[in-house]
Amino acid sequence: MIREQLAAAGGAAADLIAARETVWINPGRQPFARAASALPFRRQDAAEAAARLRRFAPLLARLFPETASRGGLIESPLTEIPRMKERLRTDCGADLGGGRLFLKRDSDLAVAGSVKARGGIYEVLKHSEELALAAGLLSGYDDDYTRLASPEARRFFAGHKMQVGSTGNLGLSIGIMSAALGYQAIVHMSADAKQWKKDCLRARGVTVVEYAGDYGQAVARGRADSDADPASYFVDDENSRDLFAGYAVAAERLAGQLSDAGVTVDGAHPLLVTIPCGVGGAPGGIAFGLKLIYGDSVHVFFAEPTQAPCMLLGLMTGLYDGVCVQDAGLTGRTHADGLAVGRPSGFVGRIMAPLLSGEVTVADGRLYGLLRLLWQSEGIFIEPSACAAFRGVLALPAEAMRRYAADNGLDLDRAAHIAWATGGALVPPEQRRIFLNTRLPL
């Protein structure tokens, strides 16, 4: 029924069910001032998350020495990529004119090497803080949080489990952080998960449970196992307010980086951001944070694989998590393992409905071409799923995007564009070579 309805609708809907790359402009987007009043999140939620991460910074610096130079802050660089901008023009026909192109390199975030280091690590820390305060390991928010690295604290956390279902990157962030604190860390991984990610987790003492099914099965089984154990905590990527709040902190930090780069964001100088999307938690939290700071001057697009555009399908139909990509005749299978999700988060979808500017979809073959362009032009490696972030720039010549720019009075010659790279730093060298040499048809 869903497939037939989408076929009859034509346009982006017809492209979606045909697994063609498409551009969808969100007809439900509202002015942020109006949308914000009805949202279940407020600026205070992001502020509290930022404060909690500051409290934990000394502990993170001790547990992960690579963060010590930043005082335990887990943050990624914002890098202008003019050579990539030129290659996108000459090789792909995407001319940004006078606009500037940046890469937000969450691919290089310390500890977990992906955007999931934001929300995933934050949720583990928040739960650990609650446990530690209740057990007397911490006396209050002004205590020395490095006490949680003591043998006593590790023995305490060893009596608790931390579980999550994942296609890969969220599992890495939850598993690595939980194991570092001493938890029994268990990651339930779907068939889409890469072997190197499983190996990475096991090398850190994390239990990896593998499934022949998709992301949905891994989450369902992981949640059931956790719910059966009073000492277990399950990180729910589909519905977690804590994950969402952790991701939202990214925007405040980005604002400082844009200022340092001389970028003005206002009505005359728009900011266009494209973020790869799986179930929706990470891009949703980041988008919310960006809207808090920049309001209607920021235009956020999600990018999804042509065979797994679950968030787009949920938003387009208004069914949110009441529909999956298989209902539209799609497989849900993609080389972009971090985006291989068949059913979106309804929690996030409903928040994004009045905020998101639109969505773009991308073919697997294009991801590898973009990976090579970035490597050749800037010497920067990101994993294939992260390359979906460039699809927003490639879509600018499309009629739907030109109309969106005209309708919103966007002067693209005065715009800043951000491709939000979501993962890649932990990819082993041999796997990098494989990715760089992979060629698929579009």
- In angstroms, rounded to a whole number, what is the distance separating the alpha carbons of residues 367 and 419? 13
Residues 12, 306 contacting (CB under 8 angstroms)? no
From residue 191, give the alpha-carbon distance in Å to each of 179, 198, 340: 23, 11, 10
> Could you tell me which residues come within 8 angstroms of residue 150 by beta carbon, excluding any fewer than 6 positions away?
none
Task: Delimit the CATH 3.40.50.1100 region(s) of the chain.
Answer: 2-42+68-111+242-436, 115-240
Instruction: Report residue 382 as tokens.
Output: 């990101």
pLDDT (0 to 100) of residue 238: 85
Q: Which helix (H) or strand (E) holds 345?
A: none
pLDDT (0 to 100) of residue 295: 98
pLDDT (0 to 100) of residue 193: 86
Chain-wide mean pLDDT for the chain?
A: 96
CA angle in degrees (0–180, nearest 5) for 270-272-278:
155
DSSP helix/strand/coil, 397? coil
Residues 165, 220 contacting (CB under 8 angstroms)? yes
pTM: 0.95
- In angstroms, rounded to a whole number, what is the distance separating the alpha carbons of residues 39 and 284? 13
Residues 120, 177 contacting (CB under 8 angstroms)? yes
Single-letter residue type at 50: A
Q: Could you report the average pLDDT of every consecutive run of 10 residues in the chain (442 residues)?
A: 89 96 98 94 94 98 96 97 98 96 97 95 98 98 98 98 92 96 96 90 96 89 95 93 96 97 98 97 97 98 98 97 97 94 96 98 98 98 98 97 97 97 96 96 82
Residues 43, 374 contacting (CB under 8 angstroms)? no
The topology (CATH level 3) of 115-240 is Rossmann fold (3.40.50)
Q: Which CATH number fits domain 2-42+68-111+242-436: 3.40.190.10, 3.40.50.1100, 3.75.10.10, 3.90.600.10?
A: 3.40.50.1100
- In angstroms, rounded to a whole number, what is the distance separating the alpha carbons of residues 206 and 130? 22
pLDDT (0 to 100) of residue 332: 96
Signed CA dihedral, 351, 353, 355, 356: sign only? positive
pLDDT (0 to 100) of residue 168: 85
Render 200-224 in DSSP notation, one character per residue.
HHHHTT-EEEE-SS-HHHHHHHHHH
